Amino acid sequence: MARLFGTDGVRGLANKDITAELALNLSVAVAHELQGQGKFGGHRATAVVGRDPRASGEFLSAAVMAGLASAGVDVLDAGVLPTPAIAYLTRRMNAEMGAMLSASHNEMPDNGLKFFARGGHKLADEIEDRISGRVGNDWDRPTGAAVGRIRPFSRGAEFYIDHLLRAVPGRLDGLRIVIDAAHGAASVVGPEAFRRAGATVDVIGGAPDGLNINEDAGSTHLGNLQEAVRLRGADMGVAFDGDADRCLAVDAQGEQVDGDQIMAILAVALHETGKLNNDTLVATVMSNLGLIKAMEREGIHVVQTAVGDRYVLEEMRGHDFSLGGEQSGHVIMLDHGTTGDGVLTALALAARVVSSGTPLSDLAGVMARLPQVLINVTGVDKHRVESDEVLAAELARVTAELGAEGRVLLRKSGTEALVRVMVEADTESRALGYADHLAEVVAQRLAL
């Protein structure tokens, strides 16, 4: 049977894959698993629930809250807020669990469910598997005063903004910034946090109507932000995704600054002040080789994990590292949050621009991105990618030819019958040539 949870919660087409029935039943299962049979030192369990602005989030969040309350959990309805806000509020309110309705950067028709345990931490794989096993099981239903209560939690946004401002290392007075909020969950709190920090803020993608989330906006569509920054003469721009757990940036010329460059800038800033724990940055295997080389030059060690911010977080928590993230813009600052936080990342990046007196373009120059080509090879037996001897030999040959000036990564998809071929090299033509060649070998050797 296919695993219910993916790498970041449960996600699919709303009202087809992600139904009200599934949301209710899954929430009951989460409540039973995380309640530990209702033993919380004699008090009733509490959950914080939030959502992004998708239309389907209205009925799905109602179903989640109904499921939790029916299982005897008191619910704080935080409304529309970013995913990292719900993680923070779960910790701030000492709640036993949190739930977020969002499909992140996916198009509007999709939706998803993410759950947090006490402290605002994402659930471990084994806990998710136990929850999946509970879905649909018979259970004793509380009655009378034992059922949970649902209350609005209007203070959640203010608590989150205060948290962000406490985490900002300095004021942003004199900075002009354009924010693309992706018509998403940070459309209000993102710009407000920047204004309170002293920045002059122009907002695009900040008018969610339930249907336009991520529509030609946000971190997956930077064109409008690049144009707006140039036209308005801004110092920089930042773009969030639908639930604002990631952030990408553009400099004053409208050039993209990706997650690797953002991590490099923040790592150097923390390293200079002695706040980069163990002088280490945690990235994934998809991060550009240019990041690794730049950090070595700056005296910063890089640890790489499997793709997925949850694996970055596990490595950080396990070894007391303070900064990590992904090329896509998920950046985790563990001293201030338990998950990727796009608004926090943007504030920290802007604060570095202001405190250093250096344009973002110059700060981003700390690393040079090597040309990177990614090809998805479909219709293959992905499970043989590590065992085929001919493929392994060809991979070794290409790796040797690239030497220290490039690298190769073959990665099987976690959800589809495909293998991702990624090649980095000193020139675009070399990267493309090797990637095309290896993609052909993968297609031939692993064909279904």
Residue 347 CA to residue 167 CA, distance in Å, equals: 9
Helix or strand (DSSP H, E) at 444: helix 428-445
Longest dimension (CA), the chain: 72
Token output for 120 = 């605002």
* Cβ atoms 99, 113 nearer than 8 A: yes
Contact assessment for residue 338 and residue 313, using Cβ atoms and an 8 Å cutoff: yes
The residues, any chain, with a CB within 8 Å of residue 154's CB and separated by 6 or more, are 79
Question: Six-digit token pair at 300?
Answer: 């910063």
Burial of 288-315, coded b for 16+ CB within 10 Å and e otherwise, reads: bbbbbebbeebebebebbebbbbbbbbb
CB 56 within 8 A of CB 14: yes
CB 190 within 8 A of CB 196: no
Residue among 425, 189, 448 at smallest CA distance from 437:
425
Mark whether 413 is an active-site residue: no
Structure tokens at 304: 């790489």
Euclidean distance between CA atoms 228 and 237, whole angstroms:
8
The single residue of 27, 56, 104, 219 carrying the catalytic annotation is 104
Q: Which two tokens stand for residue 299?
A: 């005296």
Characterize the bridge pairing of strands 418-424 and 372-378. antiparallel
Instruction: Kindly list the catalytic residues.
Output: 104
